[in-house]
Amino acid sequence: MTGQRFNKFIGTVCRLYHPLNACFVIDNAPAHRQAVNLPLPQNFSVRYLPPYSPFLNICENAFALWKGNIKDNLAEVRDQLLREDHQLRMATLGQLAEQGTAVVTLHRMQATFRGMQAYLPACFGLDDILM
């Protein structure tokens, strides 16, 4: 993801949902850093998640599920990977990455969203959240 691609995405969302009021809540990834400077319609705004708050970031939770699955499966094929040449190793890793997407289900993401919502009262109250 690049800043340019992300900004284009934000512009597309603004055009598609123009009559609605919306707030983009994003993390501080390099591609997101310039979003606050975009010329957004008045009914849209950008807010950044606080640093070190992956529990509020739904995308981070999806990536954690995916990476966890890949790591579990890597343990099963580790010896095979060490014997394979580079091209075959890359193909095996690509297959593991694709298979790992199956764990990011609607049910799991809904559970993650509910878990994130549990933190919102503390966030709105500007409380310190200790993990």
pTM above 0.75, yes or no: no
| Predicted local confidence at residue 131, as pLDDT | 66
**pLDDT on residue 125:** 82
User: 30: number of CA atoms within 13 Å, CB side?
Assistant: 2
Residue 49 has what DSSP assignment?
P
- Taking residue 60's Cβ as centre, other Cβ atoms within 10 Å add up to 16
Q: What is the mean pLDDT of each run of 10 residues along the chain (131 residues)?
A: 88 87 86 84 86 84 93 90 89 93 94 90 80 66
